[in-house]
Amino acid sequence: MDEETLINLVKEHGELYDPAHRQYQDQHRREQAWKKISNKMKMQAHECKERWKKLRENYRKAIKLRQTQKAKGIKKFKPIKHGHILTFIDDQKEMEYEEVDTHKAGHSRKTEIYALEPNPIDPLVLERTYEIVPRPDTVVTFFTNLGETVKTFPKDVQVRVKRDIFKIINEAEEEVVMNKFKW
């Protein structure tokens, strides 16, 4: 089977992979698309679907593995098989859902694809780092901002303001200590 041909044929039928496509929910339209693809591939439609599913999943696993390796500091990667033509599925996210098979009256676990915002950046190059920054204490922020303001004053005024603020804080500290030891 020529996998690149299959990928390119699927790419021409957005209803097979793009949830934003207006005919994505049209099961009849999707079956017709698979019939067209299978005729061109000279294979059964279910074989084309299965091969597509494996190609798609292998590509996604390779992307995840690459991201994990990048996080570990690895910088050299082998090329992803068919990665250069499978990038059209990068703007989608998998979601699981339950599907009821009316012919067999059974339940099966399926994977549904939902489109995300288009990302013009190649996902193989994209690297995001997130840092959790604790919120600063409001009292510390207040005094930091006071310091920025006092810094703009002339030196003699800075000295006087710092002395007066120190005196106020020292008196408050003495008051707290005295109240603590009152019996």
Q: 3-state DSSP call for residue 99? A: strand
Q: What is the pLDDT of residue 88?
A: 84
Q: What is the pLDDT of residue 142?
A: 84
Return all residues near 65 (Cβ < 8 A) that are at least 6 apart. none
CA distance linking residue 129 with residue 76, whole number of Å: 19
pLDDT tens-place string over residues 74-116: 888 888 888 888 888 876 544 333 334 444 444 444 444 444 4
CA distance linking residue 8 with residue 17, whole number of Å: 12
CA distance linking residue 109 with residue 106, whole number of Å: 10
Q: What is the pLDDT of residue 151?
A: 92
Reported pTM: 0.50
Which has the higher per-residue pLDDT, 40 or 124? 40
Find where tokens 């570990």 sit.
Answer: 72
